[in-house]
Structure 1
C-alpha cells in the first residue's frame, strides 16, 4: 500500500472513533428529549441507554464471528450500514411517536458500533509503522473524546427546544394541541439523524473503496487453556469492576441534564452546555491521569479516584444550588482513567488467554444497560438528585478491585470508552 493511501486509510479509521463517540454521547440529549416527546417516566427514559449498551453484550460475539469469517473490512462496512440504518429509523419513529421504534433504532445503531469498535483498534495499529501503533491508537482515541464534547453541544442546539410544559400546562391544552406539541418536539430529531445517517453512508462508501490491510487472527491460544478462563480471579473481579464502572459512567452522564434541571433549576439548553463542559473535563482528565501515572501506580490512582468520586457524589446528592453541578463535573474528570485502567489491570498476565479475557471485559459494557434503569426507578420513587446514590455505590466494587491490585506498579493503557 502506498503512503498516501495509507494516510487516507488512517483518516477513515480515525473517523470511526469520532462517529461512535458522537453516537453514544447523544444519549444524554435523547433521554430528556424523548422523555418529554413520548411522555415517559425516568425509568422508561433509561431504556434509551439499555437499548444501546445491551447491544454491546448481545452483539460482541456475533461481531467477532462475522469478522473472523469475512474480515475486518467487511465488519466495518456492515457496522456503518447498521449505524446509518438505525439513524434513518429515527424519522419514522418521530412521525409515529412510538418509543419502541426509537429503542429499535438505538439498538441497530449500537449493533453497528459494536462492529466498528471491534475492528477499529486493531486496524489503526497496523496502518503504518508498528513502532508507532500505540501512538496512532491514542491519537485516534482523542477524536472519541472530541466527539463526546461536541455531541451535547450539537444535540442541545439542534434537538432540545428548551420548552418544558408543566402537568398543568398539558392539562390546559386540547388533545389536538397536546399532540401537535409532542409531534413538534419529536420531529426535531429527524433532520439531525438523517444528516448523521447520510454522513455515515458516505464513510461506508469510502471504506468499501479504500484498500485496507488484511489482519490475520492467529489462534495462539490452546482450547484447553481457554476453558479455564473463569479460574482467573483477577480477570473476573476486573469484569465485575468494569460492569459497575460503565454503569456509573452512563448514569452520571445520561441523567446529567435532568439532574441539573432539578438540583440547580437550570433549563435544558444551558444544561446541555454544562454537560459538554463536563465531558471536556473527562477528556482533560484522561491526559492528566495518564501524566500522574508516571508518579503514582495505576491501581493506587484508581483507588484514589474511586474515593474522590464517592465523596463528590455524596456532595451532589446532598448539596444545593450550583455546588452539586460542580461536583458532577468533578466526577466526570475523575472517571476519565477508569475504563482503560480497569481493562489493562484485568487482562494483565493472561498470556494466551488475553484475547478471550479482553472480550469478557468488553462485554462488561452491558453495565450501561442495567444501572440507568435502576437509577430511573429510584428517581421516579424519590428525586433525580437522590438517584445519584446509584452511581456512588457503583464505585465501591471499583475501589475493591483497585486495592486488590496494589502490588502492580505499571500497566499499558490501550483501551478507552
Structure 2
C-alpha cells in the first residue's frame, strides 16, 4: 500500500535526470499516502455522525478542523524545511501523521469527539508539512514548461490513494458498524452500539500508523537530490527588489485554491450522505462508500489524462474546460433527482482532477526566486477546505441537495482564473537547479 511506486511513465519524465526521476517515484508514495489517509475521513464522517449524533454542521466541523491545520502549520512547516531540509522534513511529517493516527485509538476507546478532533488536527499538520515540501519540489525538479504535467502526474498517485481509501474504510469501518448497514443512511443507535461503532476505527488507524512509520524509515534511508540551493529565499537586500504583489497569477491563484478546496471537500465529505438519501440512491453507507471509490477513481484517471493533455495543450485551456464541465454536472446534481443526480455528482471527480495541481503550477509560474514564498502561500490556501462547514450549514438550512449550489459557484471562479486570472504579469528571472547532491 505504501511501498514506493515502481516507476513513473517515461513520457512524462523527459528533461529530468535519472536521479530526479527516482526522487519523483518515491514522492509518488508520499502523495499516495496523504491522499489515502485524507479520504479515510470521508468514510469516517458519516460514521461519526451516527456515533455522536451530529448535525451536518457539526459533521463538517470535523473536516474544518482538518483544514484549519493547513493554515496554522504552513508557515512553521516552511521554516522547518529551511532549517532541516526537504528530506528530513518529509520524515518528520510522516512521523507526526503516525502519532495522530495512534491518538485515534484512545479517542475511539473513550469515545471522545474532542480527542477525535485533536487526532485529526495532528494528522493534518503532518500532511501540511509534506505538502509544503513536496509540491514545490516536484514543480522545480524539471523543466518549467512541463511543471503542470509533472505535478498532475504525481498528484495522480495521490488520487490513487484517495480511490482505494473508501474501499479500505468501507470494509474496516462502515461494514463492521451498525450505522454503516442501514438503508437510506439513517441510524438510531443504542449506547452499546455507539460504543462498538466508535471502537471499529481502532484497527484501520493502527494499520495506517504502522505503514507511515515504515515509509518514514524508507525515506530516511533514501538519498534524495538536494534542491535547497534552487529554492533558497533571497537575502533581505535582494528581496526589496522583488514583490509578490506584482504577480496577478499568484494573487488570484491563492483564492482559486482556497475556493476550489471548498468545492472538492464539500463534495467528498457530504457524498455518502447524499447518495444514501432515499430520493437519490437509497443506499446503506457501506454501499455508498463503493460509489465514493468511483468519485476518487475519476480524479485519478483525470490526472493521468490531464498530464498527457498538458503536453499538447496549454494548462490554462485544459483548466478552463474542466471548470466548465464541473459547473454543468454540479447544476445537474442540484436540479436532478435519483440516479441522474447521483451519477452527476460522481462525475465531478473527473473534472476536479486537474484543478489543484494546475492552479498551483500556474500560480507559481514566473515567480523565479520568489517561488518558495509563493508556494507557501498557495499551500496555506488549502485551508479553504475548512469552510466546508458553510456547506454543512446550508445543508441544515435548505437541504443537502440545494447546498451543492455553493460548489457550482466555486467552479465559476476557477473558470475565471483559467481564462484571465492566471496570466503572468511580471515574470521574475527563473531559478536553475544546481547539480543534485545526496543528503
CA distance in 2, matches of 1:62, 1:94: 29
Aligned residue number for residue 427 of structure 2: none
Aligned residue number for residue 21 of structure 1: 35
How large is the RMSD of aligned CA atoms in angstroms?
3.1
Of stretches 379-388 and 104-113 in structure 1, the one that deviates more from structure 2 is 379-388
Aligned residue number for residue 369 of structure 1: 386
Aligned residue number for residue 290 of structure 2: 273
Give the CA deviation at 1:5.
11
| Per-residue CA distance 1:283-334 (angstroms, 9 max, x = gap) | 1122333444456543333233222222211111121110011101221111
CA distance in 1, matches of 2:365, 2:21: 32
Aligned residue number for residue 420 of structure 2: 404
Structure 1 residues 13 and 398, CA, compared in 2 at 3 Å: closer, same or farther?
Answer: closer
Aligned residue number for residue 411 of structure 1: none
| Per-residue CA distance 1:112-135 (angstroms, 9 max, x = gap) | 1112223335667899x999x979
Please say if residues 132 and 376 of structure 2, whose CA atoms lie closer than 8 Å, have aligned partners that are also in contact.
Answer: no
Q: Secondary structure at the match of 2:240?
A: helix
Aligned residue number for residue 38 of structure 1: 52
Aligned residue number for residue 211 of structure 2: 199
Match status 1:379 vs 2:405: no
Aligned residue number for residue 184 of structure 1: 196
Q: Secondary structure at the match of 1:46?
A: helix
Aligned residue number for residue 239 of structure 1: 254
> 1:13-412 to 2 correspondence within 5 Å?
13-121=27-135, 140-160=154-174, 161=177, 162-164=180-182, 170=188, 178-217=190-229, 218-220=232-234, 222-226=238-242, 228-262=243-277, 263-293=280-310, 296-370=313-387, 372-405=388-421
Please say if residues 5 and 211 of structure 1, whose CA atoms lie closer than 8 Å, have aligned partners that are also in contact.
Answer: no
Structure 1 residues 191 and 264, CA, compared in 2 at 3 Å: closer, same or farther?
Answer: same
Give the CA deviation at 1:209.
3.8
Structure 1 residues 300 and 201, CA, compared in 2 at 3 Å: closer, same or farther?
Answer: closer
Give the aligned length.
396
| Per-residue CA distance 1:125-175 (angstroms, 9 max, x = gap) | 899x999x97986664332121111001111111113234999974xx7xx
Please say if residues 12 and 203 of structure 1, whose CA atoms lie closer than 8 Å, have aligned partners that are also in contact.
Answer: no
Give TM-score, length-normalised by structure 2.
0.81
Structure 1 residues 73 and 351, CA, compared in 2 at 3 Å: closer, same or farther?
Answer: closer
Q: Secondary structure at the match of 2:181?
A: coil
CA distance in 2, matches of 1:115, 1:107: 13
Give the CA deviation at 1:393.
1.4
Structure 2 runs not aligned, ≥5 long: 1-16, 425-439
Please say if residues 183 and 283 of structure 2, whose CA atoms lie closer than 8 Å, have aligned partners that are also in contact.
Answer: no
Aligned residue number for residue 414 of structure 1: none
CA distance in 2, matches of 1:205, 1:288: 32
Of stretches 250-259 and 335-344 in structure 1, the one that deviates more from structure 2 is 335-344
Structure 1 residues 97 and 286, CA, compared in 2 at 3 Å: closer, same or farther?
Answer: same
Please say if residues 38 and 97 of structure 1, whose CA atoms lie closer than 8 Å, have aligned partners that are also in contact.
Answer: no
Structure 1 residues 142 and 334, CA, compared in 2 at 3 Å: closer, same or farther?
Answer: closer
| Per-residue CA distance 1:222-253 (angstroms, 9 max, x = gap) | 22145x31343332111111111111111111
Structure 1 runs not aligned, ≥5 long: 409-417
Q: Secondary structure at the match of 1:219?
A: coil
Structure 1 residues 124 and 347, CA, compared in 2 at 3 Å: closer, same or farther?
Answer: closer
Please say if residues 261 and 267 of structure 1, whose CA atoms lie closer than 8 Å, have aligned partners that are also in contact.
Answer: yes
Please say if residues 40 and 165 of structure 2, whose CA atoms lie closer than 8 Å, have aligned partners that are also in contact.
Answer: yes
Structure 1 residues 137 and 232, CA, compared in 2 at 3 Å: closer, same or farther?
Answer: closer
Please say if residues 152 and 357 of structure 2, whose CA atoms lie closer than 8 Å, have aligned partners that are also in contact.
Answer: no
Structure 1 residues 66 and 19, CA, compared in 2 at 3 Å: closer, same or farther?
Answer: same
